[in-house]
Amino acid sequence: MRKFIAGIIMLFISHFAWGYQSGSREASAQARLSHLVQTFNNAVRTKSGKQAYERIIAEAEKVKNDHASSQVARMAQYYIALSEENLGHTAKAIRDLEELIQTDDASVKALAQFALASLYKNHGETAKALAIYDQLSESGAASNSKTHQGHHADR
């Protein structure tokens, strides 16, 4: 009986430790993403140069790799795309945003669609931008995405 109780206690402790570790990993991921977003916003606000965006991309790549297949990884990719666009690497930014649009994560998909439409608009590709804005409007995501408009620099 004691072995059975000890086994139950060990299972309980293991489950609790796993839950704590999982929660701790999520908190760490969120903290890293928050720092990344703050760094990006500061770079946009201060009109930082190439080095700032390259550092953001490097950090975002680490976050993306460390938290693969999570929403944090997808948001890191979103900020990679925005940074690539700010560096003038439009084709890379488009690829990253289009990849995010293919995800099942509705909120990240809407952000990526809005960013892609803004990118097209900024580059004079109005028809492509309008098509994406129409998709956002039809999906009902447009109102949610507009709150994130300030996260990238319109030119």
Instruction: Give the closest residue to 90 by CA, choosing from 55, 60, 131, 119.
Output: 119
> What average pLDDT score do residues 67-83 get?
94
Model confidence at 13, in pLDDT bands (50, 70, 90)?
low
Question: How confident is residue 86, by pLDDT bands cut at 50, 70 and 90?
Answer: very high
Residue 5: the pLDDT is: 54
Nearest in space to 122 (alpha carbons), one of 87, 79, 90, 146: 90
Identify which of 27-41, 80-94, 128-142 has the greatest average pLDDT: 80-94
58: domain CATH number is: 1.25.40.10
Domain span at residue 118? 2-151
- For residue 140, the model assigns a pLDDT of 77
> What's the number of domains the chain is made of?
1
Question: Can you give the pLDDT at residue 142?
Answer: 59
When pLDDT is averaged across residues 11-26 and rounded to a whole number, the result is 55
pLDDT in tens, 99-149: 999 999 999 999 999 999 999 999 999 999 999 999 988 887 655 544 444
Taking the CA atoms of the chain, what radius of gyration do you get in angstroms? Answer: 20
The pTM assigned to this predicted structure is 0.77
Find all residues with CB under 8 Å of 2, minimum gap 6, and list them: none
Inter-residue contact 115 to 152 (CB < 8 Å): yes
